[in-house]
Amino acid sequence: MDHFMNPRNVGEIENPDAVGQVGNPKCGDIMKMYLRIENDVITDVKFKTFGCGSAIATSSMATEIIKGKTIKEALRLTNSAVADALDGLPPVKMHCSVLAEQAVKSAIYDYATKNDLYFEELEGFDPNEEHDHHDHGDDHC
């Protein structure tokens, strides 16, 4: 509840080094993440999320976890780690933690593309893939 009521790192970074966006039009959760990267370290991260309280909380927690980490460390972020850091999520809201993980990867993918870098952890990742990782009705969003 704290990360929903008092989300950290909300907003945009002017002239970011990377921007990633993922979303699920069926559900309505859309996450946009901005990164500032210096010497392979994420020195600043901000997000804008349109979605439910769990989407906001998972975005906030993901930014807190990756801030100050190297790109490689940030790529190891899992949706489970995000959910665990929030002391768990209801099963119907676990998709929000998946979106948070994907938003981080999408931003790093953008950085890698802009800088002609290769990260094994992004092998097969498609930032344009529709991220519908759950089966739910509209009442869960």
Is 141 in contact with 27 (CB distance < 8 Å)? Answer: yes
Out of 65, 96, 122, 141, pick the active-site residue.
96
Residue 96 annotated to the active site: yes
Out of 13, 22, 27, 66, pick the active-site residue.
27
Q: Buried b / exposed e across 3-18, counting CB within 10 Å, b at 16+?
A: bbeebebeeebeebbb
Separation of alpha carbons 141 and 138, rounded Å: 6
The H-or-E segment that residue 35 falls in is: strand 29-38
Residue 141 annotated to the active site: no
- List residues with catalytic annotation: 27, 96
